[in-house]
Chains A and B, each alone.
Chain A
């Protein structure tokens, strides 16, 4: 690890001003992504600003059809929540128990790893990402590989999810890292069907062709006729773009079947 200055602010304002004053600062929440990166000297921030002591950033609350998850809420806490079972299920499948005991939703979506799980929920569950002074619609939040609509120094304070009529998350884990090779969140709200896909592309996206087919006929069979264009999909030693494309279809069917 390179040297850096460690800070532990106790308010959001203090955190943002520390960030503004730092030559090359970085926020730290669960550290499950940042610390391995630092350990391997893949990043050399001048300052690490730990958000862990700022009160009011944790918890899962249900209000009027919206579930609000504090930015510093650990995966384990979401996994144990019951407002949206599919979201809890998704969180319970992130990493391992130790990762879930530390990693946070804010850190996960700020990082925007193409293989992370939460992004599937952010795009499929009508999410709104809140920062200290603005709100970003889930559909606009992920902008590319490890890229988001966050401005420099902006902190994710909470993420709101609409409670769907029904939803299910299906994950095909990378056999080595256990991140998602492909993850699909299918949600149904009235006549509307959302299919959020993570792992397959540069960042999470909604599979609109699948959504349309399922809106007309919400059954696993409806997925069969829909081709998934995998030309822009990721490809690595674990799965080719073609296989990822195939998995999007399979996982969507399984999620639909689980919803019933």
Chain B
């Protein structure tokens, strides 16, 4: 049984005290004496050659401290923003990435791309200066449509056919053979709509340069400050790692968009060195829309081959993925290793072949957004499955059951390169069916019908792969970084504990969850554990937070460090109690000699470690502080069943979500309250994709959905309360048996909603987002 603050307890969050009282410390809340303000001058054109940028008038504007163009950065040998994952095409060739200077030099390639930065004494002065920058652009026709991008004008000189790569995964011949033998083939054509992440805290940066020490300090809204520092030091050349400190203080949500290394913080930290004063920048929301990396944006055709009895024989997927104008930090991996590899879903489909062509367009770069590749994959698989069920008149729950990988099949090798360690998919589905009262659906549908409304139900049985790993496999597949995490457990002299994690919380609650783990494992009172994160000056090189990895990877590192603490503690305790080390047991904060009443508490051992009087100094270093790097042997595989019930008003096309059930298997759960919260937030984003959100460029490349006036954010009155439940099959290869829960809601829900909408209307497909007009047209058979 869990203690009140240990693993498994819904402990209230430590971080809340500051957030609910307005005492949070976000980047924009931090000011440095003598700071200046940066304003970026952004391209109004989706594609243009830069013939020249005249900064004279801007520089002469009142209160302007400096004006920099791409040429100034280049003159200082500031490098391009790199993409950290090298994907290879079918023919073995490397992906093609165009040069990506932080501040454009020769050409601008999307609306909002910065081509100059103005530093002012005040924000207003910098804005005035920005308006005075005069660029000579030669407008060029923009490439906007993904479907035809490969045959459109070539955007970058070095990139033929606007193609980053043409990638494949799986056995083509085996898949073709499966289709030859199929009794039925279900085909879906899908557009996975572009999304704009919209963390409510806009990106921000405060760069400082200490001339005496030659050191730089960058406060920024990053999900992974170490990665930021590595890229800025090793690739962009701002300063050597040792002289650059990156701090992510409180960060107001990320959802992927704050993983990447962007132009703005690069320019801000560099400029701080140039003007020798602190430089601050905070995005206005309209800048976030234009210049944060967007998400999704695929065009796909997929086919599922089935036998008469509904068994899946083969899956064939052909996708075009929009990269936007440049390859962002992890963009290349999203529609490949985080997408193609998920196409088995929860099913035993024996043959799968996936092709992905990634293309450049004159739009904002596209990179990981909550779920990153896995929502897109789930959408493909679950739309195919539902379509097949309807075409073959098999109950959608039943067709899934017939194809589930069974509990006895694990570890299970999929035909798309993954080995699932564990799962019980039917258990989740059964629980979800019970919650939604599947048996009663017919009656509910009839009741809606008589009220003039159309009711539908939709399923989505998703799989995800979290905690990207192991390092060596990922690196062999093109990853430019390792994928481990670091955790440090520093025991204080009196036995309280400071944990330093390389993982980063921007809403995930590390200060609470990680303290629960320590409290549980070391028997230290929860309130005596402090968790620090988000500062390259505090922790070793680490990878930060993305891909639902914090607990599975970051938490495992902390467990490893804790194990070392216990091991050392046993040595100390054995010495003090004059026993053998292997006679020592540790539980509930006490070291005990087995089968005796001799014991010593954890704080006493800590004290002895730091005041080493009765201490084996000749064999053992003093102190009680340990660190561990944890490199996971495999991904973790959360999975679950989401069921959505909708009512459609056929007169207006308005879709009402009347019920939403999510039953997820995250393995062991450290804090159920926090996990439920993560699921709720993910569901809102997945439902948002299905019904509301759409990043739309017009044919000429202007962003039409560039503010909250036109980009539909899910609001409180758009959403229902959710029914959230879990099943548990513990992960087999990490010490906590945990899988990760951050993205599941966004991965599973979209397909469930769209399957429900199409079911309600009795149509094969409805494009996303299913806005009122779209649904109204679909209802009319258009």
**Chain B associates with chain A:** yes
A176 touches B710 (CB 8 A): yes
In this assembly, does A238 line the interface, its C-beta being within 8 Å of a C-beta of chain B? Answer: yes
Residues of A within 8 A of B151 (CB): none
Within 8 A of A (CB), among B690-730: 692, 694, 696, 704-705, 708-713, 718
Interchain CA distance A250-B776 in the complex, whole Å: 12
Residues of A within 8 A of B776 (CB): 243, 246
Instruction: Indicate which residue in B124, B652, B713, B773 contacts A238 across the interface (CB closer than 8 Å).
Output: B773
B124 touches A1 (CB 8 A): yes
Q: Size band of the B side of the interface?
A: 20 to 34
Distance to closest chain B CB from A47 (angstroms) = 18
Q: A40-B286, A175-B692, A175-B771 are in contact. Are A237 and B710 (CB under 8 A)?
A: yes
Instruction: Indicate which residue in B286, B692, B704 contacts A237 across the interface (CB closer than 8 Å).
Output: B704
Residues of B within 8 A of A175 (CB): 692, 712, 718, 771-772
A250 touches B709 (CB 8 A): no
Residues of A within 8 A of B692 (CB): 175-176
Residues of B within 8 A of A240 (CB): 773
Residues of B within 8 A of A99 (CB): none
Within 8 A of A (CB), among B362-387: none
Chain A proximity mask over B110-125: 1 for CB below 8 Å, otherwise 0: 0000000000000010
In this assembly, does A177 line the interface, its C-beta being within 8 Å of a C-beta of chain B? Answer: yes
Instruction: Indicate which residue in A176, A239, A243 contacts B709 across the interface (CB closer than 8 Å).
Output: A176
Distance to closest chain A CB from B744 (angstroms) = 26
Give B123's nearest chain A residue, CB to CB. A1
Residues of B within 8 A of A176 (CB): 692, 705, 708-713
Give B128's nearest chain A residue, CB to CB. A2
Residues of B within 8 A of A172 (CB): 652, 772
Give B708's nearest chain A residue, CB to CB. A176
In this assembly, does A168 line the interface, its C-beta being within 8 Å of a C-beta of chain B? Answer: no
30 contacts across the A-B interface (CB closer than 8 A): A1-B124, A40-B286, A41-B127, A41-B131, A172-B652, A172-B772, A175-B712, A175-B771, A175-B772, A176-B692, A176-B708, A176-B709, A176-B710, A177-B708, A177-B709, A177-B710, A237-B694, A237-B696, A237-B705, A237-B710, A238-B710, A238-B771, A238-B773, A239-B773, A243-B773, A243-B776, A246-B776, A247-B652, A250-B651, A250-B652
Interchain CA distance A172-B653 in the complex, whole Å: 11
By secondary structure, the B interface counts as loop
Q: Contacts A237-B694, A243-B773, A243-B776 given; 12 further ones with Cβ under 8 A? A: A3-B124, A175-B712, A176-B692, A176-B705, A177-B708, A237-B696, A237-B705, A239-B773, A240-B773, A243-B772, A250-B651, A250-B652
Residues of B within 8 A of A247 (CB): 652
Distance to closest chain A CB from B782 (angstroms) = 11
Interface centre among A175, A177, A240, A243 (most CB of B within 10 A): A175
Distance to closest chain B CB from A243 (angstroms) = 4
Within 8 A of B (CB), among A1-50: 1, 3, 40-41
Within 8 A of A (CB), among B126-153: 127, 131
Interchain CA distance A1-B709 in the complex, whole Å: 19
Q: Which 5 A-B pairs have the closest CB atoms?
A: A176-B712, A177-B709, A243-B773, A175-B712, A250-B651
Residues of A within 8 A of B127 (CB): 41
Chain B proximity mask over A219-247: 1 for CB below 8 Å, otherwise 0: 00000000000000000111110010011
Residues of B within 8 A of A238 (CB): 710, 771, 773
Interchain CA distance A177-B127 in the complex, whole Å: 27
Give A172's nearest chain B residue, CB to CB. B652
Chain B proximity mask over A131-145: 1 for CB below 8 Å, otherwise 0: 000000000000000
Distance to closest chain A CB from B369 (angstroms) = 19
Within 8 A of A (CB), among B669-694: 692, 694
Distance to closest chain B CB from A52 (angstroms) = 24
Residues of A within 8 A of B696 (CB): 237
Chain B proximity mask over A247-259: 1 for CB below 8 Å, otherwise 0: 1001000000000
Residues of B within 8 A of A3 (CB): 124
Interchain CA distance A3-B123 in the complex, whole Å: 12
Interchain CA distance A3-B125 in the complex, whole Å: 11
Interchain CA distance A175-B771 in the complex, whole Å: 8
Interchain CA distance A250-B651 in the complex, whole Å: 7
Distance to closest chain B CB from A175 (angstroms) = 5
Interchain CA distance A239-B776 in the complex, whole Å: 11
Distance to closest chain A CB from B760 (angstroms) = 18
Interchain CA distance A250-B652 in the complex, whole Å: 8
Residues of A within 8 A of B705 (CB): 176, 237
Residues of B within 8 A of A239 (CB): 772-773
Distance to closest chain A CB from B717 (angstroms) = 10
Give B780's nearest chain A residue, CB to CB. A246
Residues of A within 8 A of B710 (CB): 176-177, 236-238
Residues of A within 8 A of B713 (CB): 176
Distance to closest chain A CB from B472 (angstroms) = 46
Distance to closest chain A CB from B657 (angstroms) = 14
Distance to closest chain B CB from A41 (angstroms) = 7
Distance to closest chain A CB from B112 (angstroms) = 15
Residues of A within 8 A of B711 (CB): 176
Distance to closest chain A CB from B610 (angstroms) = 54
Residues of B within 8 A of A236 (CB): 710
Interchain CA distance A176-B710 in the complex, whole Å: 5
Interchain CA distance A238-B712 in the complex, whole Å: 10
Distance to closest chain B CB from A72 (angstroms) = 25
Within 8 A of A (CB), among B750-782: 771-773, 776
Within 8 A of B (CB), among A155-196: 172, 175-177
Distance to closest chain B CB from A158 (angstroms) = 30
Interchain CA distance A236-B705 in the complex, whole Å: 11
Distance to closest chain B CB from A98 (angstroms) = 13
Interchain CA distance A40-B709 in the complex, whole Å: 13
Give B692's nearest chain A residue, CB to CB. A175
Give A242's nearest chain B residue, CB to CB. B773
Residues of B within 8 A of A41 (CB): 127, 131
Residues of A within 8 A of B131 (CB): 41
Distance to closest chain B CB from A205 (angstroms) = 21
Interchain CA distance A240-B286 in the complex, whole Å: 25
Give A3's nearest chain B residue, CB to CB. B124
Interchain CA distance A41-B39 in the complex, whole Å: 14
Interchain CA distance A228-B124 in the complex, whole Å: 49
Distance to closest chain B CB from A133 (angstroms) = 36
Interchain CA distance A250-B708 in the complex, whole Å: 27
Interchain CA distance A237-B771 in the complex, whole Å: 10
Residues of B within 8 A of A177 (CB): 708-710
Interchain CA distance A151-B696 in the complex, whole Å: 38
Residues of A within 8 A of B286 (CB): 40
Within 8 A of A (CB), among B727-754: none
Interchain CA distance A230-B669 in the complex, whole Å: 56
Interchain CA distance A196-B704 in the complex, whole Å: 29
Distance to closest chain B CB from A250 (angstroms) = 5
Distance to closest chain B CB from A115 (angstroms) = 10
Residues of A within 8 A of B771 (CB): 175, 238
Interchain CA distance A247-B776 in the complex, whole Å: 11
Interface centre among A1, A240, A247 (most CB of B within 10 A): A247
Give B769's nearest chain A residue, CB to CB. A175
Give A179's nearest chain B residue, CB to CB. B709
Give B705's nearest chain A residue, CB to CB. A237
Interchain CA distance A177-B707 in the complex, whole Å: 9
Interchain CA distance A172-B651 in the complex, whole Å: 12
Give A115's nearest chain B residue, CB to CB. B709
Interchain CA distance A1-B286 in the complex, whole Å: 15
Interchain CA distance A24-B286 in the complex, whole Å: 27
Give B774's nearest chain A residue, CB to CB. A243
Interchain CA distance A11-B653 in the complex, whole Å: 49
Give A182's nearest chain B residue, CB to CB. B652
Give B709's nearest chain A residue, CB to CB. A177
Residues of A within 8 A of B709 (CB): 176-177
Residues of A within 8 A of B718 (CB): 175
Distance to closest chain B CB from A45 (angstroms) = 16
Residues of B within 8 A of A1 (CB): 124
Interchain CA distance A40-B285 in the complex, whole Å: 10
Distance to closest chain A CB from B124 (angstroms) = 7
